[in-house]
Amino acid sequence: MVDSSGCPVRRVAMISVHTSPLDQPGTGDAGGLNVYVVETAKRLGARGVEVEIFTRRTSASLAEVVTLAPNVTVRHIDAGPYEGLDKDDLPGQLCAFAAGVMRLVASVPEGHYDLVHSHYWLSGQVGWLAADRWNVPLVHTMHTMSKVKNRALAEGDRPEPKGREIGEEQVVKVASWLVANTDTEARELVDLYDADPQRVRVVPPGVDLEVLHPSDQADARARLGLPVDAEVLLFVGRIQPLKAPDVLVRAAAEMIAADPSRRERLVVAVLGGPSGSGREKPRALQALARELGVADVVQFVPPQIRPELARWFVAADLTVVPSHSESFGLVAIESMACGTPVVAAKVGGLPTAIGDAGVLVDSHDPAVWATELSTLLDDEPRRKMLRDKAIERAQGFSWEATTDKLFEVYRHACEAEVSQAATVVDFSTVPTAVVP
């Protein structure tokens, strides 16, 4: 694609080492990053940009090359065992992954790719090498940062390793441009990682407004087998301490203790699968629900494809996002697009995502959450007001708008590269001094 300035952005190499865009979000290491990569790649492809996504092969059955969408291909790289490799083990496979990328594209001509866009710090390490080898700009999106996560650890969760922190610092230093989800994340890059503010651009994620939109709640509940008169609280995300689904389960127990009649109508739906340190005790949340005496009101649902996820959002009265850390909080915007108000922790990018179209809780005390949730469930006019605000606010977060801004970053990166190359001195034209 060539824009009006004449700067070409024809081919982009995206790198996503630790999770594939083909994986179902909501379990393992698949989440908002996967959605971001898929949605931006598809829209870049629709604009005529060829996007090649390099990711690690996690099954022998995966083809080497998979077409994701027009102009978008996924290339699988062999690096380490296909299955059973934890994300914390992946730094040891970065050399193998990088070598696989280099071998795969060894036959392409110089200038084949216009830039590299890496996602997450592991990919940034590979992107650093690839961009240097191909002499193109490196655009990097952190998605999450160890220094931020370690400042907001859930009780009992383990901190991110020092090696990740060092790796992130290296990527920040060498990247041509850094893409942040929010102004808050941009400040964190500058304050915590000493990023050059002139090389940081804010590009908010989006939402697929064609799939995620308001519809009839009664019909959605009927299709999901939920009582039409239930009070439905929804959690969507990976089940791990960082996402704090336990706060919702504990809050539900507090709500029932305060009003035993609520047990007859309360439904707490938890959509997702174990991830991160949550995989060490994959049934811990179910055990907690039994221990607190609320197993009868908590439903555990596996990750859902987008149309089914939309149905769950529509069916819910409130979506609950109690995370300890979120770079943006894509689930919040997706819920709002479906007309379901959000009650979320006041952390990271969630205040930016939600604004005044939801409720922000500055605590992780289950009793505080129980009060907020009960009060809002009992106040239908306020929920209606928040519903209207949520729908309106979500309209400003489209993937088309995200891709517009992302392409601007790409364009500036390419322009800067061309400008820098033009300033290189041609020493063949410089007079040689004569030594007497």
Q: Is 36 annotated for ligand binding?
A: no
CA dist 97 and 87 (Å) reads 14
Q: Is 389 annotated for ligand binding?
A: no
Of 223, 173, 222, 224, nearest to 199 by C-alpha is: 173
Q: Is 163 annotated for ligand binding?
A: no
The sheet with strand 177-180 has its strands ordered as 65-69, 72-77, 50-56, 11-16, 115-119, 138-141, 177-180, 200-202
Q: Is 168 annotated for ligand binding?
A: no
CA dist 126 and 143 (Å) reads 16
Q: Is 25 annotated for ligand binding?
A: yes
Q: Is 31 annotated for ligand binding?
A: yes
* Residue in the structure block whose two tokens are 């809780």: 361
Q: Is 29 annotated for ligand binding?
A: yes
CB 189 within 8 A of CB 165: no
Q: Is 164 annotated for ligand binding?
A: yes
Q: Is 120 annotated for ligand binding?
A: yes
Q: Is 299 annotated for ligand binding?
A: no
Q: Is 326 annotated for ligand binding?
A: yes
Q: Is 40 annotated for ligand binding?
A: no
CA dist 224 and 308 (Å) reads 9
Q: Is 96 annotated for ligand binding?
A: no
**Contacts for 101 with CB less than 8 Å, ≥ 6 apart:** 15, 54, 77, 126, 130
Q: Is 127 annotated for ligand binding?
A: no
Query: In the chain, what is the straight-line distance between the N-terminal and C-terminal CA atoms, in Å?
Result: 55
CA dist 334 and 54 (Å) reads 27
Q: Is 144 annotated for ligand binding?
A: yes
Give the largest CA-CA distance in the chain: 102
Q: Is 19 annotated for ligand binding?
A: no
Q: Is 198 annotated for ligand binding?
A: no
CA dist 39 and 25 (Å) reads 13
Q: Binding site for 1D-myo-inositol 3-phosphate: residue ranges?
A: 18, 29-34, 87, 120, 144, 164
Q: Binding site for Mg(2+): residue ranges?
A: 313, 316, 340
Q: Binding site: residue ranges?
A: 18, 24-25, 29-34, 87, 120, 144, 164, 238, 243, 304, 313, 316, 326, 334, 340
Q: Binding site for UDP-N-acetyl-alpha-D-glucosamine: residue ranges?
A: 24-25, 32, 238, 243, 304, 326, 334
